[in-house]
Amino acid sequence: MAELQSVIDKAGVLIREVQGRSPDESSDTGHEAGDASGDIDQLKSRLAESETDLQETTDRMVEVEHQRGRLMSLYVATCELHETLDLEEVKRTVGEIAVELLGADSYALLLRQGDTDGYEVAVSRQTVGVADGLFVGPDYTGGDAMVDEALVDGVLRTSTEEGSHALAVVPLAIKGSTMGALVILKLLDHKASLTSEDRDLLDLLAAHAASALFAAQLFVATDRKLRTLEDLVEVVRGG
Amino acid sequence: MQPKKVLVVDDSKLIHKMFEVMLRSYALVHAMDGREGLERLHEHPDIDLILLDINMPSMNGFEFLEEVKRSEAFTEVPVIIVSTEGKDQDTVRGLQAGAAAYIKKPFRNEEILKLIERLPPEASD
């Protein structure tokens, strides 16, 4: 591009030289110079168009790279959530997504306690001294309006409401029943706010964390039953 | 081009997985804390880049970095700190200790990739 610009500039200098000659000298060359001048204007215009195209392509490339990175994060988060049936590991993964990918400084993962209406604080970070201590644990007994509403209606919330300390509440619902929620209470100091891209991650958590946690809970319950049955068989055999 | 060997020192499994997907053309070596990182480094002396977290159990990132820079064998290996710690004093401490760059989590994947591409040739060859 720079080379082409240099050629056009040199051509421009030559034309100006030719046009500067006396009428006798330049009677023939004058017409040629006029034509060349038109060509140069055309070339300059095409160069400008090419530069615009190049800029647009570069911008698009940057955007594509960014989208690729974003999709990569979503892919990794999904894989990690479903990689294991170990309940503690799934909980830890939800926490890691909150901190490492969303930039949460303070969060709490609430999970329904068995078939009751109560919720335990299953995993949390930096909740002491935050949100009036509502999420310090071991149980969440209500008190944060946004969280309480999300636990009832199962709707994801991402803007602070009156009576709430949460920045975002991600309800974890499966088969229409809310089994818990991820509550984001504070972001890392260098993270100004949640972005539209973070919203994609929150949606992913709402969709996948619930099923991953449900599967792990089911596995724990089934495994416990299996062990009880095995113990029973041992006792019967021994007797 | 020979594949580059990168040591990832981070206590988050999620971050290890993320780097695995991001850096597919690189040979990755994994460590969950600074102490394990030093062990991996001695097992793989051909490592030519370290991606390092700060908050880790056993030995934190700063302590690990100081050990690496003290060691004659590894002092030239570039270290990129990737941490949730975002205070200016942490950045300054990391760079003064010899880190090539300090990236704050959550990071944009392309930010890390560009940084690795721009490392001096002796580090990336």
State the ipTM, two decimals: 0.89
| Same domain, residue pair A22 and A88 | no
Look at A152 and A163; give whichever has higher pLDDT: A152
Residue B122: is its pLDDT beyond 80?
A: no
For residue B124, pLDDT beyond 50: no
User: Which pLDDT does position A33 carry in this prediction?
Assistant: 66
Task: Tell whether the model's pLDDT for residue B93 goes beyond 50.
Answer: yes
When pLDDT is averaged across residues A131-135 and rounded to a whole number, the result is: 87
Please enumerate in sequence order all residues whose Cβ is within 8 A of that of B5, keeping only pairs 6 or more positions apart, or say none. B26, B27, B28, B29, B44, B46, B47, B48, B49
Number of folded domains that form chain A: 2
Q: Return d(Cα A6, Cα A4) in angstroms, integer.
A: 5
Average of per-residue pLDDT across B63-84: 96
| A65 → chain B, closest CA residue | B110
Task: Answer with the residue of higher pLDDT: A8 or B79.
Answer: B79
Global pTM reads 0.82
pLDDT at A112: 93
DSSP annotation string for chain B: -PPPEEEEE-S-HHHHHHHHHHTTTSEEEEESSHHHHHHHHHH-TT--EEEE-SS-SSS-HHHHHHHHHH-TTTTTS-EEEEES---HHHHHHHHHTT-SEEEESS--HHHHHHHHHTS-HHHH-
A238 lies in some domain: no
Which pLDDT score, from 0 to 100, does residue A30 have?
61
Same-domain check for residues A11 and A103: no
In chain B, the number of structural domains is 1
Same domain assignment for residues A140 and A46? no
Predicted confidence at residue A109, as pLDDT, reads 97
Q: Which residues on chain A are in Cβ contact (under 8 Å) with B109?
A: 68-70, 72-73
CATH number at residue B9: 3.40.50.2300
User: Which chain A residue is nearest to residue B15, measuring alpha carbons?
Assistant: A100
Q: What is the pLDDT of residue A21?
A: 65
Has residue A113 got a pLDDT over 60?
yes
Say if the Cβ atoms of B84 and A96 lie within 8 Å: no
Per-residue model confidence (pLDDT) at position B2? 45
Contact B51, B29 (CB under 8 A): no
Verify that A136 and A222 share a domain, yes or no. yes
Range with lowest mean pLDDT among A32-36, A142-146, A161-165, A209-213 = A32-36
In a domain, A88, yes or no: yes
For residues A36 and A95, membership in a common domain is answered with: no
pLDDT in tens, A188-219: 999 999 998 899 999 999 989 999 999 999 99
Considering only the beta carbons, identify the residue of A79, A99, A105 that sits closest to B17.
A79
Domain termination residue (choose one: A15, A36, A55): A55
Alpha-carbon distance A232 to nearest alpha carbon in chain B (angstroms): 38
Domain containing B39 equals 5-124
One domain for residues A20 and A101:
no
State which of A12-16, A112-116, B29-33, B54-58 shows the largest mean pLDDT: B29-33
Asked if residue A239 belongs to a domain, the reply is no
Domain CATH for A152: 3.30.450.40
- Is it the case that residue B73 has pLDDT exceeding 90? yes
Within a domain: A144: yes
The candidate with the shortest Cα–Cα distance to A90, out of A178, A219, A209, A177, is A209
pLDDT at position A85: 94
Model pLDDT for residues A29-75, shown as the tens digit of each residue: 666 667 778 888 889 999 999 999 999 999 999 899 888 888 999 99
**Mean pLDDT taken over chain B:** 92
Percentage, residues of chain A above pLDDT 70: 93
Q: In what order do the strands lie in the sheet with A104-112?
A: A139-140, A119-125, A104-112, A177-187, A168-174
A185 part of a folded domain: yes
Full domain range(s) for residue A179: 83-226
**Residue A233 domain-assigned?**
no
Q: In angstroms, rounded to a whole number, what is the distance separating the alpha carbons of residues A218 and A54?
A: 55
Least confident of A2-11, A88-97, A200-209, B57-66: A2-11
Question: What are the residues of chain A with a beta carbon less than 8 Å away from any beta carbon of chain B?
Answer: 62, 65-66, 68-70, 72-73, 75-77, 79-80, 92-93, 96-97, 99-103, 105, 188-191
For residue A25, the model assigns a pLDDT of: 57
